[in-house]
Structure 1
Amino acid sequence: MSVKEMPNGTFTVQFRCKDAEGNDVHKFRRGFASRKEAEEWERDYKATRGQTMAMHFSDFMKIYEEDMRPRLRETTWETKSHMIKTKILPFFGRMRMEDVRSIDIVRWQNKLMDMKRPNGEPYSPTYLRTINNQVTAIFNHAARYYGLHPNPAVKTMKIGAKEAGEMSFWTKDEYLRFSEAMMDKPRSFLAFEILYWTGVRVGELLALTPGSFNLERLEMRISSSYQRLNGQDLITDPKTPKSVRTIKIPGFLKDEVEEYLACRPDLEGDDRIFSMTKHYLAHEMKRGCAETGVKRIRIHDLRHSHVSLLIDMGFSALAIAERMGHEATDITFRYAHLFPNVQENMAAALDESKGGAF
């Protein structure tokens, strides 16, 4: 390092190095208060520009964003970014990538598990697993593409749980009781009708336009999703490629959509039918539950309810997965436990089958 002390007591640093593209660069900087500060600046510059693992974790996050952000939906990246800024950077930010050890990740995990939400409740097991997976993804990326060795995430155990311990849903009878309370507001009623009887995601519902429907063919086309991001309304691609799909709708739902659109001549083909927010739907659900006594569930649980209804009606996992836009049938199979009486019905049917054979 070429650090020199100047007559006024400050320090300068001058050096040559290669940048990330392999080009030779000459750097000169003055005004450092100490030799250590000047040497530290040189080391940080070389690590960051040369993309070596001597860089700080916070500097690597800038590189990680450049690599990953173009590959992700904007809403997905915003979720990741918030997680990194609030749950990961405060612990690892000033550590150098090459200095992070497995025990550091263990200590971060322990600290994370002790954290509480604003209401005093601990984070859910599934949320802990999501954050843990993000840390693993960061170090795996550094190891795979930037030569980090050893990878501190390899030896650490995961925390949290992959799936929620309990999945809520409404039976058909519960939904029908709830829907009666929505009839005083046609827009709310139709929104919940579509959510329950088609199983679409909330973002997919809020992106629907009159042009999304071919009522003669009893079809609803899902090709986009609504998101509210940084105070802006965004229409994005659906969650996954399989999410782009055409859903057949029952005749009664076709009649309800047709009747509602007939009362809304102001809607053009590309206008959103439901110019509302997820918060509004949650408020309406709370109102309906209070009026009818039906148990409270999340808006997303209406999607669970639809899958559960189809399973109870005897449809195959493959057919349900296609309707729901699931990437794999194993996602659909996770819902099977919502009908514990299915096993009893199977046993009874087998018993009857054997009895009928004699």
Structure 2
Amino acid sequence: MPTYKDEKTGSWYCKFYYTDWQGNKKQKLKRGFKLQRDAKDWERKFLEQQQGSPDMSFSAMCELFLEDKKAHAKLSSYKSEKGRLEAWVIPYFKDKPLNGITAADIRIWQAELKTATGANGKLLSQSYLHNIVMECSAVFNFAVKYYGLARNPCRIAGDNIGKKVRSVQFWTREEFSQFIATFDKSDPFYTAFLILYYTGMRIGELMALTFADVDLKAGTISINKTYHKIDGKTVITPPKTEKGNRTITIPSFLCKCLDRHMKRIYGATSDTLLFTSSKNPYLQHMKKHEALAGLHHIRLHDLRHSHASLLIELGFSALLVSERLGHENVSTTLDIYSHLFPSKQSEVADKLEKLYSSDNY
């Protein structure tokens, strides 16, 4: 593996020929390595990836997997998955041949994850552990599908971490009323929190709303984009799911509140944002005003759960809740909120009893 030292900069570089997937011979040059071994490692991984062999190193396959993820997934999803793989998966398996990683290796890795601690010094949460295991499995699935790996060892090992734990906390209508009563009605956050609670939209969807998305005559809000802050830059993307593109009908009191809020914004156009604060002020205001109201703490995202809980309490179906929240399918809604739907077992038994009695068996 030829590597060379750049006498001007003191760094190392590699320069070599390879054959691409179409059979063309090409030259590759890569500069800027501090150490010679770094240049050699980079060349080895590059050639492994070009060959596309299942005996390439795990780290080389992860690079291919993340390149594909970056091309096909949302930037926010890509960044999250990349961070977890680089922190908890790649350092463990490193340069081990992909097809040399066994189900036993996966089980040992999972056991170590259970005792791992995060930056806060605490054990990783069940939900976070579940995500790590699923992302490791996704790398092997990618290798099976596109690079000839015989099987995914994660499937054989199983998930020894445990099911993903969904945290569903919420405020009742009475509790939210206590919370919102601590705001001045002219405060933009008063309007913002009303919208979050009575529509169930995500905070990113709220932050991306423009004047064009609100139709006060029809009493609707159109959700067609979401706001992200990635590496200090504002990124606007489509909603989380395809069905996240939706139009929500809102009550007249919310229309009046929005009308007052919009009239306070001078020189607005159709592209003007309804709310201009970053996410952190929402977190600060929520913490401050829940304390003023004497309420137990919930997350900002739990206002979305609170809306779902309100709809279920009012007797609406899982399908309606799913459509309003923009879930991809009803099963997602039931997976999160099934325990909130009232049991109809007694009602079923009573109706069957009446049917039996009417038939006079």
Structure 1 SS opposite 2:222? strand
Structure 2 SS opposite 1:208? coil
CA distance in 2, matches of 1:27, 1:183: 63
| 8 Å contact from structure 1 (residues 207, 272) kept in 2 | yes
Q: Which residue is equivalent to 1:9?
A: none
| 8 Å contact from structure 1 (residues 206, 226) kept in 2 | yes
Distance 1:194 1:25, change over 3 A: closer
CA distance in 2, matches of 1:270, 1:87: 41
1:223-261 alpha-carbon deviations (Å, 9 max, x no partner): 100000110111111101100011000000000000111
CA distance in 2, matches of 1:42, 1:249: 58
Distance 1:183 1:336, change over 3 A: farther
Superposition TM-score, scaled by structure 2 size: 0.83
Structure 2 SS opposite 1:216? coil
Q: Which residue is equivalent to 1:130?
A: 131
Q: Which moved more, 1:270-279 or 1:282-291?
A: 270-279
Q: Which residue is equivalent to 1:173?
A: 174
Distance 1:348 1:148, change over 3 A: closer
Distance 1:252 1:98, change over 3 A: same
Q: Which moved more, 1:127-136 or 1:49-58?
A: 49-58
Q: Which residue is equivalent to 2:288?
A: 287
CA distance in 2, matches of 1:15, 1:22: 16
CA distance in 2, matches of 1:87, 1:286: 32
1:338 counterpart = 2:340? yes
Shift of 1:110: 1.5
Q: Which residue is equivalent to 2:320?
A: 319
Structure 1 SS opposite 2:95? coil
Superposition TM-score, scaled by structure 1 size: 0.84
Distance 1:241 1:42, change over 3 A: closer
CA distance in 1, matches of 2:168, 2:43: 53
Q: Which residue is equivalent to 1:268?
A: 269
Q: Which residue is equivalent to 2:258?
A: 257
Q: Which residue is equivalent to 1:113?
A: 114
| 8 Å contact from structure 2 (residues 203, 301) kept in 1 | yes
CA distance in 2, matches of 1:182, 1:38: 59
Q: Which residue is equivalent to 2:216?
A: 215
Q: AA paired with 2:298?
A: I
Q: Which moved more, 1:273-282 or 1:198-207?
A: 273-282
**Unmatched tracts of structure 1, length 5 or more:** 2-13, 29-35
Matches within 5 A, 1:216-235: 216-235=217-236
Structure 2 SS opposite 1:235? strand
| 8 Å contact from structure 1 (residues 200, 303) kept in 2 | yes
Q: AA paired with 2:158?
A: M
Shift of 1:18: 3.8
Shift of 1:37: 12
CA distance in 1, matches of 2:46, 2:262: 61
Q: Which moved more, 1:84-93 or 1:261-270?
A: 261-270
Shift of 1:269: 1.8
1:201 counterpart = 2:202? yes
CA distance in 2, matches of 1:254, 1:187: 14
Q: AA paired with 1:195?
A: L
CA distance in 1, matches of 2:266, 2:240: 31
Matches within 5 A, 1:5-16: none
CA distance in 2, matches of 1:229, 1:37: 29
**Unmatched tracts of structure 2, length 5 or more:** 2-14, 30-36
Size of the aligned set, in residue pairs, is 337
1:149 counterpart = 2:133? no
Structure 1 SS opposite 2:83? helix
Q: AA paired with 2:221?
A: M
CA distance in 2, matches of 1:275, 1:41: 44
Q: Which residue is equivalent to 1:188?
A: 189
1:267-322 alpha-carbon deviations (Å, 9 max, x no partner): 33212211112221111110011101111101111111111111111111112211
Structure 2 SS opposite 1:253? helix
1:31-65 alpha-carbon deviations (Å, 9 max, x no partner): xxxxx999999865642321212322222222212
Q: AA paired with 2:138?
A: A
Q: Which moved more, 1:246-255 or 1:67-76?
A: 67-76
CA distance in 1, matches of 2:88, 2:246: 36
Distance 1:208 1:95, change over 3 A: same
Distance 1:64 1:292, change over 3 A: same
Q: AA paired with 1:338?
A: L
| 8 Å contact from structure 1 (residues 140, 153) kept in 2 | no
1:152-176 alpha-carbon deviations (Å, 9 max, x no partner): 2231111444442541011000000
Q: AA paired with 1:330?
A: S
Q: Which residue is equivalent to 2:103?
A: 102
CA distance in 2, matches of 1:336, 1:246: 24
| 8 Å contact from structure 2 (residues 117, 123) kept in 1 | yes
CA distance in 1, matches of 2:329, 2:104: 36
Q: Which residue is equivalent to 1:71?
A: 72
CA distance in 2, matches of 1:39, 1:123: 35
Shift of 1:77: 0.7
| 8 Å contact from structure 1 (residues 132, 159) kept in 2 | no
| 8 Å contact from structure 1 (residues 47, 53) kept in 2 | no
Shift of 1:16: 8.3
